[in-house]
Amino acid sequence: MLTSKQRAQLRGLASTMESILTVGKGGMSEQLIKQASDALNKRELIKGNVLETCEYSAREAAELIAEETGAEVVCSIGNRFVLYKQNPKKPVIELADGKKKKK
């Protein structure tokens, strides 16, 4: 489970990224899930978008893909969404620990 601090960090990283995943009229296919899974294993953080012709909203599509790939939904804004899944063997992104600092 991501903390709000970690979500903010990942949103910042994703803001400069291009969408690499597009959910269209075909909806969720095995090919799309495999593409998302492979990209998450390699990059850990991916951005996707949902076309107007799709039957799913961006939030619904993100949640379905996250459920199938074991990822977490970082955010969903408009027709775009961001997913994160840490690579267990070689982590690429180091997340903030999310704990409050003592003074």
List of the chain residues with pLDDT < 50: none
pLDDT at 96: 84
pLDDT at 88: 86
For 57-81, the pLDDT digits (tens) are: 999 999 999 999 999 999 999 999 9
Query: DSSP character for 13?
Result: H
Q: Which of 33, 35, 42, 27 is nearest to 68 (CA)?
A: 33
Domain ranges of the chain: 4-84
For 15, 41, 47, 59, 76, the CA distances from 10, given in Å and listed in that order, are: 9, 16, 11, 17, 12
Which pLDDT belongs to residue 97? Answer: 80
Superfamily of domain 4-84: YhbY-like (3.30.110.60)
pLDDT number for residue 73: 97
